[in-house]
Amino acid sequence: MDSKQRIIMGIDPGTQILGYGVILVDDKKCHYVDMGVIDLRKETDHFQKLKRINCEVGELLEKYTPDDLAIEAPFYGKNPQVMLKLGRAQGAAIAAALQKDIPIFEYAPRKVKMAITGQGAASKEQVKTILERTMDVTLDIKFLDASDALAIAMCHFYQLKNPLSDTSASTSWKSFVAAHSDRIIK
């Protein structure tokens, strides 16, 4: 990660409540900027919800001008229709970032919880509590979707700080040396 400051926006996509969180990071620490929700519960038409997500996320991107957008990946639950709707909401938010040429990074819910709390099955309340301690702030919020979005941004910060912590990456020395041959002293 560069030593310059960067702004990361996290998005917790939803078709009822979409959470967002914004942090400012430097090479050592992250600082809370803002968080909130886009409340879509009064919108009855699904396609109008997607339009609102795209427009309002676009406005947030203009307001905060993030260097990166970190977004939660849809997860498979009991109802495939829910996953489809969440995927559409995620796509509307992603499209807003693509229109502004903002790099997008996707994280699975379990990876976010693991990065923040050390437990992939942590509750939303546990995530919020750890965030408060980590950033030394009190997050007085009505919806935990906002603190989840903040956690997604923090997860991305941790990934930037330590890209080798990615458990999906190969852990073999041979792969590491091949990928980083410029670091080898001959």
Q: Which residues are the active-site residues?
A: 12, 72, 145
E strands present in 4-126: 6-12, 17-25, 30-39, 68-72, 104-107
Cα–Cα distance, 147 to 100 (Å, whole number) = 24
Of the candidates 88, 102, 13, the residue with the CA atom closest to the CA atom of residue 46 = 88
Cα–Cα distance, 20 to 13 (Å, whole number) = 8
Name residue 47's amino acid.
Answer: F
Cα–Cα distance, 41 to 10 (Å, whole number) = 21
Dig out the tokens for 26 from the structure. 């430097």
What dihedral angle (degrees, nearest 10) is formed by the CA atoms of 19, 53, 6, 138?
Answer: -20
